[in-house]
Amino acid sequence: MTDENVNAEFEERKSRFFVRQRYVIAALGFFGYFNFSCMRNNINVTIVAMVSTTENNQTQTGTFNWDSKQQGLLLGSYFYGYAAGNIPGGWMAGKYGFRKVFGISLLISAIFSVLTPPSAYANFYLVMVCRAMLGFVQGGVIPAFNYGWSKWAPPLEITILNSIALSGSMVGFLVIFPLAGVIAQSNNWEAVFYITGGMTTIWAIFFFIFASDAPSNNRWISEWEKQFIEKSIGKREVRHTLSSIPWKSIFTSKCAWGLFVCHSTDAWFQHTLPAVLPTYMSNVLDFDMTQIGLAMILPYLLQGFVAVLGSQITDMLRRKKVITTTNIRKISSFLSASMSGLFLVLTGYVGGNHYAVISLFTMSIAALGLVFSGYQCNALDIAPRYSGIVYGISNTIAHIFAFFGPFSAGYIVVNKQSVSLWQNLFWLSFGINLTGVTAYAILGSGDEQPWAKADTCDNRSGKVLETENDRLTTTLH
């Protein structure tokens, strides 16, 4: 490459903000998932201020007189819609592009968030429908973005790019609980829904300006980066129709079922932990609400750190050909399940030592960040062209199965002060998660499957591709 070409490339990249656009997509995904998590969880805190309750002869005056059954129905209505929205969202992303599905889904979510207070004032069942519809449109968010990576993520950067984006949901989880609590305590709970809806609307403006379905139609990308991505993953100009999707092959694929089972058992574990830990801290450790809230911050901060660091290490090992994609996916998933489960079980045997319990809880939740370099990326490995559909199916099954985690806790821990009953629940959760990663170790694969390929598009060759920096060094020499 001549000096003139090098200078021309430098000037072009500088004019495009001198950033790699695939990481811009990851950053937009981070804030998209952040808003996704805020709107998903905003009612979990605000419902305390919305409802009038009487406990221990003390009355809290709220706007609505909903009983515990109605509150449970309202909190669960989101997930009824969410479970139904995953597969349609994955299919629509393949047909219309991830940019439209991801962006419009969150924009419509913002509308339903803003409509939540007036719906609640109008009728209880209307606000239930509002939350269910919020869940339904958000059901397509993760499958859509997952499909977007099939066009944007070079094979050896899938893990880190996906983890950067998904970590936004963890940060959103951390932010919305204290933020909603502070706002709700000021007797202005309606503002929580307006703020989260407003933040999402602002984000959507930037998303539609800077995001695109593929490098080929992105106006901000350098020619260098576009060629690198297209060379790495090949061109996949395919629009899905219902008849073009290999449904039978997906549901009869053993590696797909390895993913489905592992995803389901991990979802059980990850849904059970945040649902029961506050109760455990309150009844066994005598923590107040402030202490519980503070104790839940550090674990999820560390989980995000583990997710990004683990993903960076994973892609480095794959790039240097130290380990195959199949093996690193299985190892990461196993380490996540075994370490998080072991630390959780140990909390039941350290007595009332607050520091030991909090440390073990923190390590248990942080270890779950390793799934982002494990099975969470596997749909892109085995079926990049159909990753939205495959992940949508997996997420649907997982969330149906995950309902039973917190539900089982109510039947097992009938006495909230009984340490032995909590031990039983922790052992059960550990055992279920280990079962899932064992199935994944037997059935899973990190290789693109024959049924996911087509003669009409360029597919991955399976060999390790050079990095962009390697390519630059080779060209210059």
pLDDT at 316: 92
pLDDT at 60: 58
54 forms bridges with which residues in the sheet? 59
CA-closest candidate to residue 468, choices 253, 159, 157? 157
CA distance 156 to 168: 21
Fill in the amino acid letter for 324. T
Three-state DSSP class for residue 121: helix
pLDDT at 271: 81
Q: How wide is the angle at C-alpha 61 spanned by C-alphas 59 and 62, nearest 5°?
A: 135
Burial of 327 (0-12, 13-18, 19+ CB in 10 A): middle
Q: How many CA atoms lie within 13 A of 275 on its CB side?
A: 21
- Helix (H) / strand (E) containing 447: none
**For every one of its 477 residues, what pLDDT tens digit does the chain have, with 9 covering 90 and above?**
444 544 444 445 444 545 789 999 999 999 999 999 999 988 877 887 888 765 545 555 668 888 777 887 888 788 888 988 999 998 899 889 999 999 999 999 999 999 999 999 999 999 999 999 999 999 999 999 999 998 999 988 989 999 999 999 988 988 887 888 788 777 688 999 999 999 999 999 999 999 999 998 999 898 889 999 988 887 555 556 666 788 999 999 999 999 999 999 999 898 888 767 777 887 788 877 567 767 778 888 898 889 989 999 999 999 899 999 999 999 999 999 999 999 999 988 987 788 888 899 999 999 999 999 999 999 999 998 898 899 999 999 998 887 777 777 778 888 878 889 989 999 999 999 999 999 999 999 999 999 987 643 443 333 333 444 444 333 333
Token look-up 């515990």 returns 68
pLDDT at 18: 59
pLDDT at 48: 76
344 forms bridges with which residues in the sheet? none
pLDDT at 42: 87
- Helix (H) / strand (E) containing 235: none
CB 335 within 8 A of CB 314: no
Burial of 230 (0-12, 13-18, 19+ CB in 10 A): middle
pLDDT at 193: 95
Residue 392 has which token pair? 């949508």
CA distance 318 to 327: 10
259 Cβ contact list (under 8 Å, min separation 6) = 375, 378, 379, 382, 390, 394, 440, 444
Other C-beta atoms lying within 10 Å of the C-beta of residue 317:
19
CA distance 137 to 206: 20
pLDDT at 378: 93
Three-state DSSP class for residue 186: coil
CB 69 within 8 A of CB 122: no
Helix, strand, coil tally for the chain in percent (to 5): 80, 0, 20
In three state form, how does the secondary structure of 341-359 look?
HHHHHHHCCCCCCHHHHHH
pLDDT at 289: 59
- Helix (H) / strand (E) containing 58: strand 58-60
CA distance 265 to 473: 44
Residue ranges and CATH numbers for the domains of the chain are 15-53+64-245 (1.20.1250.20), 247-477 (1.20.1250.20)
Strand runs labelled E in 302-347 = none
CA distance 90 to 139: 9
Q: Which residues of 367-395 are buried (b: 16+ CB within 10 A; e: fewer)?
A: bbbbbbbbbbbbbbbbbbbbbbbbbbbbb
Per DSSP, the residues of 121-132 read: HH-HHHHHHHHH
pLDDT at 469: 41
- Give the chain's count of helices (H) and strands (E): 20, 2
CB 297 within 8 A of CB 458: no
CB 456 within 8 A of CB 244: no
Residue 17 has which token pair? 């903000």
pLDDT at 405: 77
Backbone phi and psi for residue 54, each to the nearest 5 degrees, phi listed first:
-130, 115
CA distance 352 to 355: 9
State CA 290 to chain mean position distance: 27
